Structure 1
Amino acid sequence: MKGNAVAVCAPGLQEVQQMVREQYTTTTEGTHIERPENQHIYKIGIYGWRKRCLYLFVLLLLIILVVNFALTIWILKVMRFSPTGMGHLQVTKDGLRLEGESEFLFPLYAKEIHSRMDSPLLLQSTQNVTVNARNSEGEVRGRLKVGPEGALFEHSVETPLVRADPFPDLRLESPTRSLSMDAPRGVHIKAHAGEIEALSQEDIIFHSSDGMLVLDAASVRVPRLVLGAQGPAGSAQGLHEVCVCADGTLYLSAAGADSTCREHSRVCP
């Protein structure tokens, strides 16, 4: 009895499952759901003129990116950028090395400026070249200004040699102040071809603290010395002697058999 009951129930369960599957399929395929009339349908995405504007904007950004990239490559090529520097400017372990001609539009601050061993250092400017030396507080303690008229030193200058070009004259001039040349072992002024001329509005002083003043020349002329009275009879005609006053003033006195400076000392103040 139990075996027959199981055999009868098994076919019935399969038929029920088949009926349920067919009913679900039929109901799903034939179901029609009506939407309310006032319900709107929204599309998700960008359509129409908005889509065209977006594509145009993306294309414009792409063009700008390509132009900027091309300009960057052109600038790198023109400026000659390299891993060691830019153009004539190279970065070394000791600082910056600049070769060739360069132009500075703004002030240049450097600790040392050297040229190559086989070439001089050349600074050019359409106006003046000014070099300032400042102390720790920023005050100018020395200034060198080079212009069309020459070099202007506003403070003292220490140099072993001052020399002009082969053809122009060398002029040392102080328009409003005094000009002083000091050296512990002497000052040598030489003119191999030409004259040495010293002009002053006031006094020209040659001072030697330990030694003497030597004028070594074939002739020494002092054309503007004061001429004393004529010497006594028998004096050498046309000859004069140079006399010195107590204050150092020089004057001429007609030469005689003996010195005539004393009798003509009234020239002294």
Structure 2
Amino acid sequence: MVREQYVRTTREEGVPEPAPDYLYKVGIYGWRKRCLYLFVLILLAILVINLALTIWIVRVMWFNMEGMGLMQVQPDGVRLEGESDFLYSLYAEEIHSREDSALLLDSTDKVFLHARNENGNVTGRVSVGPEQVQGDVQQLVVSSSSGKMLFQADGKEAVVGNNKLRITGPEGAMFQHSVQTPLIRGEMSKDLKLDAPTRSLSMDAPAGVQIKALSGALSLTSNRDVQLHSTEGLVVLDAEMVRMPNLELGTAGSGGATDLYEVCVCPNSGKLFLSPASVTSTCGTSQQC
């Protein structure tokens, strides 16, 4: 409260005359003053709370000059140290692991990898689940570190690009349809077996089929007929001895033609040999058996 007195003099008497007192109030008083103090107090409390929350967030999130906690912002991207959890989708052009550790993608349910085109449509997907790994792509290519194609598959065919395809299962390999290959070879210490339990087994090649047993025996077993057929050439059995032990013997024929031979079979071994034809059979007089 400020009190001001104004003194007024009279020309007639020259004695000062006290002026009336006037009261001027400067500032805010009453309930306005209390509301202002309350507002300032609330604002100060909010400022302190915000400062405390900011310090807490910086401390919890580990903000530093390089990034945030285990995440470092670098010129070529973002680097994460340790384990990181993503609650929603992750979009990245490339994901690399550190040089001294592997890259691990872990999920309690499934892991999905999607590839999209420029229109946002999914063109390829790979899902890894607890019981199944499934991939939907137009073409699957597996290459070596040198860039050589090892395996390629699409909707029409599957190609193995390596020099050798090795199947180590004890039951071998089962093919439901045709198989086209230039060579089928068994292991050095094991037999090679081609088996068709309920149907026929057919081997066809435009330039010929060659079957070799370099250090063992060759066995062909069939419940019905075994046919060796050549459309434009000969069927040659080139061996030191060809035996047919269950072949029935024929009867001697008659004829006087020269330069003719008859096929003879040894009754004890089934050996086949040629003998000059005569009026009667000469197989019995031959010394081949």
- Would the TM-score normalized by the shorter structure come out above 0.5? yes
Give unmatched runs, 5+ long, in structure 1. Answer: 1-21, 36-40, 162-176, 228-237, 247-255, 261-269
The alignment status of 1:111 with 2:93, answered yes or no, reads yes
Q: How many residues align?
A: 195
Change (3 A) 1:187 1:196: farther
Aligned to 1:181: 158
Supply the distance in 1 between the matched residues of 2:63 and 2:191 (Cα, whole angstroms): 67
Distance 1:81 1:245 in 2: 82
| 1:1-269 correspondence runs (5 A) | 29-30=16-17, 32=19, 43-155=25-137, 156-160=139-143, 181-186=158-163, 188-191=165-168, 195=170, 203-208=176-181, 211-216=182-187, 217-220=190-193, 222=195, 224-226=197-199, 240-241=221-222, 243=226, 257=244
Is 1:128–1:145's contact at 8 Å kept on the other side of the alignment? yes
User: Residues 185 and 192 of structure 2 are in contact (CA less than 8 Å); yes or no, is this contact kept in structure 1?
Assistant: no
Q: Residue type matched to 1:74 in 2?
A: W
Structure with more contact order per residue of length (Cα contacts < 8 Å, sep ≥ 6): 1
Query: RMSD between aligned alpha carbons?
Result: 4.0
TM-score (norm 1): 0.59
Which runs of 5 or more residues in structure 2 are unaligned?
Answer: 1-8, 145-153, 201-218, 230-242, 248-289
Q: Which TM-score applies when normalising by structure 2? A: 0.55
Distance apart, 1:60 and its partner CA: 1.3
Contact residue 112 and residue 125 of structure 2 kept, 8 A:
yes
Regions of 4+ moved over 6 Å:
none
Letter in 2 for 1:119: S
Q: 1:68 to 1:197 in 2, by over 3 A?
A: farther
Alpha-carbon displacement from aligned partner over 1:147-191 (angstroms, at most 9, x marks no partner)? 111321112322248xxxxxxxxxxxxxxx989531344562443
Fraction of identical pairs, as percent: 40
Structure 1 position 47, deviation (Å)? 1.2
Distance 1:33 1:59, change over 3 A: closer
The one-letter amino acid paired with 1:181 is A
> What is the distance in 2 between the residues matched to 1:239 and 1:181?
30
